[in-house]
Structure 1
């Protein structure tokens, strides 16, 4: 029997792979369906960044809170939001996780600790400060995690949240998903600091930069900062250097990309391909096992799309529900 050299059991490694594959297939299907005109509204895809959400979320439970971004499908799936409800939400149907009212950029499921995706850059950071403060006062050792891109990292709300979290010693982690572009502007032209770790240091937070396409690097770094937060050590910043396979939004012509760039990152920096290779080389999983999971995921996505298309639209009366919280 082959020894497992990884910090996770085989069952957990299978879980990680299934999550990453589910995110990839979900996003690639949206890419096709949006182009056909089946999906209303704007869509921003997470394909290529799966190792980041998965590596972080595997340390969390339903007491932990996350605040996502406009590119939030991967965070939702990794946090345990129901895939079929997500698909229905993106299709604008009443069976969606937000009853068809949120769409792609505002999926939420508070029962899973998913406070919501957000179309406002950097808006999740102060929300996570509130969630982390609640966890601190309730004493259940929960953490709050804010995800931002390299563009949102320049927003005042994000920088103010770093300061507040440090002042109050909150159990908060600020994840910068640095995919190299703030929409179409290279990070080289938009961020003055050489490293996001320097920004963390400026607010008195520890920070670390990892290769976000390496699941194990993300898992290890995330485990450390999350453990530290749970034990009262305060906030941290985690920068994950990533690649995105699609444009900023669906329909983006991507004229700002170098010739051959997309083909290169798909061929050489695919986090799922790298994960598969490492597990096969170690003898922990076989190609047949990966293929079986791929088939399961493909069936799930097909079912999700079929059920979403068949579901009812919200009615005019639904406009007046879920507007105010009832205490």
Structure 2
């Protein structure tokens, strides 16, 4: 008889206000592949990508399980696993190409998993992986920043999950001046707490940036790129760079050409989807950030914990994320 487990999934794309938008289900416990870990999930985080997939990827009556961020305990390992053992506490962001983490047990390739920071609980750790990977790859792979790097970095949405980690990692590991955007006093204060040197109102970006960086900025990190390219072209210095994580339709980059501005895409699921030779880079960066957390250099971005992991609680978490007013991260913990 196949062992089953509790999970949360959906059968059709519905507004989160509909009780059927996320449902409690029972599914077979998955079997780990050769490089996989079987993880007993203790906490998951909800990100904008969860809501986006729920709204746009209709499973056609089958059950689709969402969830990417997770923290838990290794309950089993595949035959070729070398980085972890049963009993290890881990955190990771999974793959958009595989079933999600909103389940009691989850399988994930060990090359994209890190050991959970020792100083954090499961909920605190679950807030971090997806945003940490996105921030790290943006700063150190797209912008190619390092300890000696200078200039000015503009972080749009500084109080969001990814923005919070971009600010922290830029302050900890580079020499750039960090300017964050915010729209409310509480989000502005959060961005400062994360380490932003300056915070400007994103409703009047040109004036705000000019007030603190009269000569313009060198780098722009953007989770909201649609309709902003001309503004970016104005506030960036010649030869500046943008890294975007959204996918606005009909994006026109021609305004960037006169200043020879470089445009990068960042998609943290690229490595899990395509398994390039350097796939283990995500394991390595999660290990490094875990050290920074345990050393007190970087902190968790958890602001709200909901319990337990079930359909009703996850619907509440999706509602919070879809509101667009989140400061930090929401985590759902405990089966």
TM-score (norm 1): 0.36
Higher relative contact order (CA 8 A, sep 6+): 1
Which one has a larger percent helix, Structure 1 or Structure 2? Answer: 1
TM-score (norm 2): 0.35
Which one has a larger percent strand, Structure 1 or Structure 2? Answer: 2
